[in-house]
Amino acid sequence: MSVWHAIAYVNLLGLAADHLVTSLFGLFFPERAVALYQRMFGATLALTPEIRFVLKPWSALGTFAAAAGILPIVDPERYRGVLYALLLLLALRLYIRVAHATSANRPFGISRRRNAWHVYLIVQAAAIIAAQLVWW
């Protein structure tokens, strides 16, 4: 395995781990999820009944994204479509982070600096996946 393949696989594992951990916490431990989101994203989130309701299906989708994101590690050529889907997911996350930075700051207290850090991480992960699609 080349260094490039290792970087690509670590990228996919990192994305899957992020999706899985944040999702399972949201699904099974919502109180701890709020604290985790504060540490990871800088988001101050009140655990209202509405937020609890939204966390459940959101967490199910995140768990699915984690499971699907592992497939290209097993067989990158066969699951090439999953790489495109992950790239789309990251593009949408990037759009949300950039287009709604101000509105995320007001209710959730996500600083511009923290938001910029996450934009960087999303772009980096997307760039690695895009490179996989081009070079594999």
**DSSP one-letter string for the chain:** --HHHHHHHHHHHHHHHHHHHHHHHHHH-HHHHHHHHHHHH-------HHHHHHHHHHHHHHHHHHHHHHHHHH-TTTTHHHHHHHHHHHHHHHHHHHHTHHHHHHHH---HHHHHHHHHHHHHHHHHHHHHHHH-
pTM of this prediction? 0.90
Give the tens place of pLDDT for each residue, 42-82.
Answer: 899 999 999 999 999 999 999 999 999 999 999 989 999 99
